[in-house]
Structure 1
Amino acid sequence: MIRPRGTWKGQLAAAVCCLSLFAGGCGYSLDGYSTSSSRAVSILGDGNSTLKIDKVDQVTMYPWVQYYLRGVVRDEVNLRRLARWVDSGSADYLLSINMPGFRVRSSVSNWVDNTLLSDTVVQVELIVRSGKTGAVVWRSGVISYNDKFETVDEASAIRDGLKEALRRALDRMQQKF
């Protein structure tokens, strides 16, 4: 039987890489394989604290944006299991969403091509306060996101920009460095 040379070395290297992920050598581990908890660790703790949105300040002239921001944050917090979501009553943490900047422009790509391009710029900041004292626990700082979208309607470009900016702000909530 003829064996190709070097294949066992590649397989060994792949096995070592996979095992190092499970061992958590670099600080990373797969969700559910951690010894302490399967919840994500963030500034809110291990995911057992309660969280609700206190207020949303947005600078757009679109009335639906406030409700869209609330929905995206609620879905991302639940998906990442950062906290237990509550809509009313008291909560361990209160979240404020500020949008200090927003711009959307639409244009046709060029004289020959009639593709509609939407240029979206979104700035968001998340502020977490203690539900008991009201003291600021954490601020994301202003997160800016801009992109160009080829879309049929401007609203879908706005939604995509808002969602990505909020995801990046929530990513900061989970960073330890």
Structure 2
Amino acid sequence: MTLPANQPDRAAVYVVDDDHDLGAAVARLLCRHGHAAEPFLDPVMLLSVYAEAPALCIVTDIMMGDLDGFGFADRVRMIDPAVAIVFMTAWPTTANAVDSVRRYGGLDYLEKPLDETRLLSAVDEGVAWSRRQRSIRARTAALSARERQVFDLLVQGHSNKAVADILGLSPKTVEDHRAAIVAKTGTNGLAQLIALAR
């Protein structure tokens, strides 16, 4: 199996479903709409190769064999916290719908048979979200651990003085960290740092 590469115009999307025909049909639909989609019958198989070829979005069934969609989501997020996940199920429940978003970070919870328009919209939204997350991570990757702490507090709205008090630093040290953060992220002030974090 050849894993799709992320290309600017064709995002890698994986479809995980133990129903071979459905997974293949969803992947074909996504391919027709400009994505590089690949179906997987087994979430464990995808996990074994995922680090080599991460996706921007994963569409996964919830009810599968040994590893269900929620357990799979937990494991794939350990490898790639910036991937968007869309859950689908033939057995919808309110509890699972809530859990899929709140506990497992899913972007959407789709009922089978799938509404194609909603599926395509969810995947497009997921691809855009993942690209933003990857951009943020790339721009903040050069920050030191202390700069990351300062960054996180600044974008939460804390003043330099408040950040200094929270971290036990001098305000001058916080100002120095803030200047380094602005330089490393290519931003030109607090407003752009906040926008970057969002």
TM-score, structure 2 normalization: 0.27
Q: Determine which structure has the larger strand proportion and give its number.
A: 1
Relative contact order: is structure 1 or structure 2 higher (C-alpha 8 Å, sep ≥ 6)? 1
TM-score, structure 1 normalization: 0.30
Which of 1 and 2 has greater Rg?
1
